[in-house]
Structure 1
Amino acid sequence: MELQTKVPLQPIDHPIDYQGKVLLLGSCFVENIGGKLEYFQFPQYQNPFGVLFQPLALENLVKRSLEGTFYHPEEVFCQEGIWRCFDAHSEVRSDDQKTLVELLNQRLRRTRQWVESASHIIITLGTAWVYEHNASQKIVANCHKVPQREFTKKLLSVDAIQSSLENLVSLIGKTNPNAKLIFTISPVRHLKDGFVENQQSKSHLIAALHQIVSSRAPACRTGGQSRGVSYFPAYEIMMDELRDYRFYAEDLLHPNALAVDYIWEKFKAVWISSEEYPVMDEVESVRKGLRHRPFNPGSEAHQKFKKSLRTKITYLQERYPFMKFE
């Protein structure tokens, strides 16, 4: 008896391994995947400007980083004693104007380095709703709780999203033609926009994104790839395989830990090289060992346990010098 519909998935060519580097950009769901990659000690870099929900913000970050269009003091603003930038998430802030500008430009430089060297770039789109700042007529990445009357809310058309994503793919392709782009749609529900409006938003993102993927191959299978651009169906897995509120956090909007683990296992089966599974098991063993709290720290058994753990860490770091264990 089948009690669950399954999204068909197939392993991908050129999967992620410990010799590669992964850049992750986009909505908060990309940080769920990034957190898993970080846990297993894959070289990765997440959201230099913090969480960015909509495609124009992602295009702006990549474009400015690759073109070297650095920020100037007039591009940041002070709100209640804190300096912020409309192009970045509220976590990217400072109590000093010069410090924030330097931080933004430092992260632009680092973003360029990662785009140039990444083997894989994961981009998660969260919403097609955007806010235009009335005074500057510029689409912002984050409103920073500035009064809503200062913005006009707009829904990006499928064509506008497609154009933005085409620019994004082109920018990355010219800089690093070997990078594999993995797009996903965030399963997080943006109900503050409204139930119907959330579905409108997701549908626009999905339609535009599949135009990008399908235009690069005669046919595209679920979870497949075409000329370095792939789609991983995280949204579809959440909607079709985990269609129950027990898989949501208390806010009933975000996938909970169980759902994240489930989708991660699906992602792992498709996008992580199976040859790396034994190394991932070793890393997890060390992680669990470091969290272990003994009843008797001075016992001979615990000293042997610590020695064995140090041996495992040394072995891993000799093979993979970038791994860091606390």
Structure 2
Amino acid sequence: MNFTTKVPVATYAYPIDYSSKLLSLGSCFAENMGDKLDYFKFQVKTNPFGIIFNPVSIDRLVDRVINQRLFTESDIFFHNDLWHCYEVHSELSHPDKDTFLEKLNAVIKTMNHQLNKSTHIIITYGTSWVYRLNSTKEIVANCHKVPQKEFTKEILSPEIIQQTIQNTIDLIRKVNPDCRFIFTISPVRHIKDGFKENQRSKAHLITAIHHSPFAIHNYFPSYEIMMDELRDYRFYNDDLLHPSQVAIDYIWIRFFEHYVDSKCFDTMQEVCNIQKGLTHRPFNPDSSAHKQFLVVLKEKIVRLQAKYPHFQF
């Protein structure tokens, strides 16, 4: 008997391997997938500007990075004892203005190099809902706990999202015509927007991607897997909004089975064994058995690093 509806996942035409250089952008689920890729020692960079939920803000940052438009004092503001920027996540905020600007512009230069050199770019869209700053009419990536009255909330139409996706693709391909894209929609539920509003938001994202011939042919259905294969609250964290670790692991398995070159699977298992060994906590650290275990573990690491010099444990 089958107790779940299996979502079909097509095998990706341009599989990821250990020579691939990956950049993962978007919502917190982009971080989940980035963490998994990093755990298995793939060459991945995740959200250099922090978590970004909506397509317009992702596109705006890509445009800034590719055209190397550095941040200036006019792009930042002081609030609650920190300097912030409406284009980036609050994790980058800083108490010193000059340090903050230097940090932001250093990320532009680093990310510019990453966009130029990436073989695969994974973009995870989280929501169609956006906040527009009343004083500038610009859509922000993060409100930084500025009072709600300073913003107007609106939802992006599928047409605007589709145009934004295409613009992001065109921008990146202008500097890196050979890179491959993977698009997905975050399975995280944005219930603070409301139940109907969350469904409407995801529907706009899905509609936009399905009306983009390029995006739909490079689409991984993480949202659909969560909704159809894992349609039970036991697959959510305690907040009932974010996928649990079990759900993340399951979606990751569906991803690597179809998007990672099968020639990498044995190496991935070796990496996994080493990672588990590194987290092992012995009853007696001074025992000869544990010391021998560490010697063998070190030998495994050295052997893998000889083959893949970029591996760091």
Encode CA deviations 1:227-262: one digit per residue, 9 max, x unaligned: xxx000000000000000000010000000000011
**Residue correspondences, number:** 313
2:271 is equivalent to residue 283 of structure 1: yes
Partners of 2:80 and 2:306 in 1: how far apart?
49
Classify the secondary structure of the residue corresponding to 1:182: strand
2:181 is equivalent to residue 181 of structure 1: yes
Q: CA deviation at 1:302?
A: 1.5
Classify the secondary structure of the residue corresponding to 2:90: coil
Partner of 1:249: 237
Matches within 5 A, 1:287-302: 287-302=275-290
Encode CA deviations 1:150-195: one digit per residue, 9 max, x unaligned: 0000111111111111100101111111111000010101011111
Partners of 1:286 and 1:189 in 2: how far apart?
34
Classify the secondary structure of the residue corresponding to 1:29: helix
Matches within 5 A, 1:25-40: 25-40=25-40
After the TM superposition, list the runs of 4 or more consecutive aligned residues in structure 1 that deviate by more than 3 angstroms. none
Matches within 5 A, 1:88-107: 88-107=88-107
Matches within 5 A, 1:151-162: 151-162=151-162
Partner of 2:307: 319
Letter in 1 for 2:85: C
Partners of 1:205 and 1:298 in 2: how far apart?
56
Partners of 1:128 and 1:9 in 2: how far apart?
24
Partner of 1:202: 202
Q: CA deviation at 1:299?
A: 2.0
Classify the secondary structure of the residue corresponding to 1:48: coil
Q: CA deviation at 1:292?
A: 1.2
For structure 2, the residue ranges without an aligned partner over 5 or more in a row are: none
Classify the secondary structure of the residue corresponding to 2:209: helix
Encode CA deviations 1:81-140: one digit per residue, 9 max, x unaligned: 111100011111111011111111111111111111111100000000111101111110
Letter in 1 for 2:267: V
TM-score normalised per structure 1: 0.94
Encode CA deviations 1:286-324: one digit per residue, 9 max, x unaligned: 111111122222222122111101101111111111111
Partners of 1:20 and 1:9 in 2: how far apart?
21
Encode CA deviations 1:181-233: one digit per residue, 9 max, x unaligned: 00001010101111111111111111111111x2x49xx6xxxx3xxxx0000
Partners of 1:160 and 1:10 in 2: how far apart?
27
Q: CA deviation at 1:80?
A: 1.7
Classify the secondary structure of the residue corresponding to 1:25: strand
Letter in 2 for 1:231: Y
Encode CA deviations 1:258-293: one digit per residue, 9 max, x unaligned: 000110000011111110011111111111111112
Partner of 2:21: 21
Partners of 1:231 and 1:10 in 2: how far apart?
9
For structure 1, the residue ranges without an aligned partner over 5 or more in a row are: none
Q: CA deviation at 1:73?
A: 1.3
Letter in 1 for 2:109: R
Partner of 1:143: 143
Matches within 5 A, 1:109-124: 109-124=109-124
Classify the secondary structure of the residue corresponding to 1:258: helix
Partner of 1:273: 261
Partners of 1:10 and 1:150 in 2: how far apart?
44
Letter in 2 for 1:277: F
Matches within 5 A, 1:60-75: 60-75=60-75
Classify the secondary structure of the residue corresponding to 1:24: strand
Letter in 2 for 1:23: L
Partner of 1:303: 291
Task: Give the CA RMSD over aligned residues.
Answer: 1.1
2:224 is equivalent to residue 236 of structure 1: yes
